[in-house]
Structure 1
Amino acid sequence: MRGPGLRQGTRLARLWPAIAATLFFLFALPLPAFAASIACPPGAENFPPFYDDATLFKDAIASVANVEPSNQRLTGITVPHHLLTADLVALGFRAASGFRYKRIVILSPDHFHKTRKLYATTLRGFDTVVGPVAADAPAVRRLEMNGDIVEESCLFDKEHGVRAMLPFLHHYFPEAKIVPVAMSVRARRGDWDRLAEALKPIVDQDTLIVESTDFSHYLPQHDARRFDQQTLNILAAGSLDGIASLRQPEHADSVGALYIQTRLQRELFSAQPLVVANENSQEHTSDYVERTTSYVVALFGAFGPGFSNPARPKDKVYYLAGDVNFGRAMKKILVRDGVAERIVNSVLTLTGSRPLIVNLEGVILPNVPEAIDDMTLAMPQGLAVDMLKRLHVAGVGLANNHAYDLGPSGYAETLRALDEAGIAHFGQGETLALADFDLVGLTDIDTNGSKNTDLLTPALLDRLLHENAVRPVVAFVHWGREYRTEPSVREDMLADQMRLRGVSAIVGGHPHVSSEAIVPLAGGDVAEVYSLGNFLFDQSAERSSGSMLELRVFAQGTIFTRLIPLPNYFEMGRK
């Protein structure tokens, strides 16, 4: 629950490179007792400034000046309050700064257990080193009508969970007024639901909800990474039950704030989370630190086509898509004037021309025989290679039931065409080593028409075991039954075996229909998308669907996944 908020801490953070490693623990330990004393300003005066030097805030704001704000309106952000990572706080506010807000609700832990009720707020404004921030008095009074759980309090004099937000808020949203909320550690899920209901009348389209939360606490980095991954997977799934099951402070210093943010975003705005940063305090020193703190920046919005998707250069973004075949009826539409260009432009609008990995169903041939039957998938080399390059495909999966449709010689022809084009590929049990993570191809289904199934043996699954524990491993698996989005007992068993071998995510294909959500397995250890369905495949929307998985890799080895529904590109091309 507790973390640094002391003014001296901000100066130390600013001078961090020069600080001896022996002082590192100061940023993860509770503030001294004197910092928690409460002083109420006289009359209706503002709380005085909590930090006495604006340099830290100005430097952090300057550090993210080149990050493009979101071009779609955000309805919430999650940012840290440890000013060791002031640049991450600035990143969250910068992402939201493309739009104006009249009101900002700040959800913070009550770090020093000063509220007598479950929640505290205040009608007072705040002076900061960069200017004043006013309270939204009507909204605060509306919240205080819930007097059995909400009280007026002066604890905000020393509450860094709120005070660390205010200089950034003043810079990016100088006209906005705030509703600060400090949350007691005593509150439980039923209490969080009550506060969410109490906030609904004051949260409208002109409101930004700022969740001031630090994540895993008091753990060495290898443990913190595991807890962070669990949190990220549960957040990606949007699971309120999963969030409510998180442990405090191992997962976050305010699970309640994360729960309330997620619930309000879903129910008021149909908004989804997008995590754009995940760091650990160990990353700020080369010396081993026994007790660390983790940090997350998340954006909430109804992200639609054309979303600019803010990202730092240090965090790498990839896309995984489902079944692709450039033969049969798909070939006929792609050769029409303008169709291929229209489809490529639609895809690149989603990916931002970032690397894409697809499941290539079928055989690439220099010339496809006219007499080939419809269930034998083959595609012309020129068209296939051209489309893969235009889509910025960084790798194709060949672990599927159509890669050997023309036997070993057809498979060899496919490899030759891909190698000549410089397009990476990975088949059964093979690893595609990308710059930031490893993809392992697996198929439980043999060549089309074969009765051989249940191919995945323990020896093949062991291909998922990689020596570098920091480097994420993703299973790209072909399994299941066509047109069914629910796993069978066998797929559930295989997924658990993959989890036990340390994969970060399981991404499936074959059913030609897409899963509707990311599922966190075993308390969030693994993110599973049972099926991505079709990507570029000649089946109508009546019987098929497809999604793309965005996979963001952070420097500490964690990932965040986001499922993006796709249009039916086959039907798009026929119009």
Structure 2
Amino acid sequence: MKRSLLIVAILLYFSLAGCVGVYYTALLVLKRSQPSQTWPGYHYALFKQPDFYTGLINADNQPVAEEKVFGGIVSHHFFVEKEIARFFLPLRKQQPKVVVIIGPNHFNAGHNAMLTTQYPYITPWGNLEPDLELSNKLAASGLITVEERPFEKEHSISALVSFVKYTFPDTKLIPIILKKNVSQARLDELVTQLDILLPKDSLVIASVDFSHHSNRVVADFHDEKSLATIQSFDFESLARLEIDSPSSIYATLRFLEKRGAQKTSYFKHLNSATFANNLSSEDVTSYLFAHFIKGKSTTNGAVSVLHFGDMIFNGVVGEMIKNKQDPFQKIAGVEGNFLRGMDAVVANLEGPIAVREQCFSSRPVNFAFSPLVPSLLARNRIGFVNMANNHRLDCGENGVIETQELLTKSHIQFFGNEELGAENYLVKKVADKSLVLLGINTFGMLPEKAQLFLGLIKNLKQRYDYVAVNVHWGVEYNTQPSQEQKDLAHALVDAGADVIIGHHPHVIQPLEIYKEKVIFYSLGNFVSSQNIPATKNGLAAGFIFNDAVKKFYLFPFENSNGSPKLLLYQKTKQFCDHFLKSVTTTEMCSFGL
């Protein structure tokens, strides 16, 4: 009874501690369960006791894979041990001569970017031996170094070896761990060597966990992009994903591509919040379990965008930047994960960036933001800014040029010009899809010019897949859109806009679904020093576009002393329940069209 309670307690801790916590918890148990004597020449499975592997020893009527599986993706988060067992057990009739596990080097240990071990792993079902012949050939190629110490605590391997030994009693193992800085060229060389050296019946597995340290809405949003990228073998997007080892996924998918195995026969996605029915968790890990068989991928990729409202870098925010403080730190979250994983993070740059602190203008309010802003945006992966707004010319035409030059130096892309032309929009290519980001400033815009914009949108929609229109409009601090906003929004949709993102009111305004297209009338402020209570509430809108569906996610946040921070679960739920009350079918802060 005590042992069962210990196991339950440890698994509960896994759900809270995440990946690295797995290793330290396992150490605690091992100290209690193994002799103090060390065994030179061996590594250990994460747990040596069969009691921990209930998904294996209590498995009933597990199906057998109907077609040969060439590789897969599996979690190393032991909290979902039963799901790991469900990944392996259907493969038990294959009995490959060699299993390759490719996973992250969590602790950045060792001297090389790609490492392997030649020690066997002690498991509850005997020793899982390395394939020394193949391992030596890989090492002789100079691509991989044999280093034992990093594997002493690397759970991306130790969490899975018992499942391998139980399912394939006679197989041999080649474990490979990758540092984050491994180059794509070296990964391609590794894949070429694996394809040459591995027997035809070999199994190559990526040991990878997905979204980390966020709530389940963020995890689902990030995972939508990750899953579409993997299913479509969109190699260009892999590096942007919010997963713990894009390199491991890249190498595995490239190998499967060489073997002609790009079709999924098993594809299961879940996260720790839903798995444990702990829906309010703020520290969620998500997982993918996938088998790949012969055949081509039949899935296209997806375009993923996270959109914010107004960025005003004066006042308190400006002082933070001068003092080398990051106003985005709180909303970015642990490891900056909230702002990772998308093809584009976009916001409205509400004014010019200039070397001088003040620009002289006849306007009652004019802005000139610090030249440190572009590098700040780049560090936080905010890579696209709209410049079509009423503060664009606060430093004159020279200020516009200076702003664009400073943004370009930090690789920040911009769009939104006062005149019609190429600078009004930019095109983001993602796999075989294209997204247009277009900026419109309605202030001072004559009706004839509005008609020209409608014509431009019609033309863009004919040439590209998706058109997202940023509109600077409305009345400051009004929480409801004006009739003029509604009329223009409908005209933009009629012309071909797929989604409309509004800004300028500095407060959140409602959304509208018009002809199956979404209009966000105002997202409010992103970063700002404004003190009116309503201006401290902001909204980020995430959207995923693919051939099958357009899906939208909402992320409400609150500004405190110039720094935005996502709301916690209960307040998030309350906001979304109210904000989405006009939408017929919704999930937690999300809906599809």
TM-score w.r.t. structure 1 length?
0.49
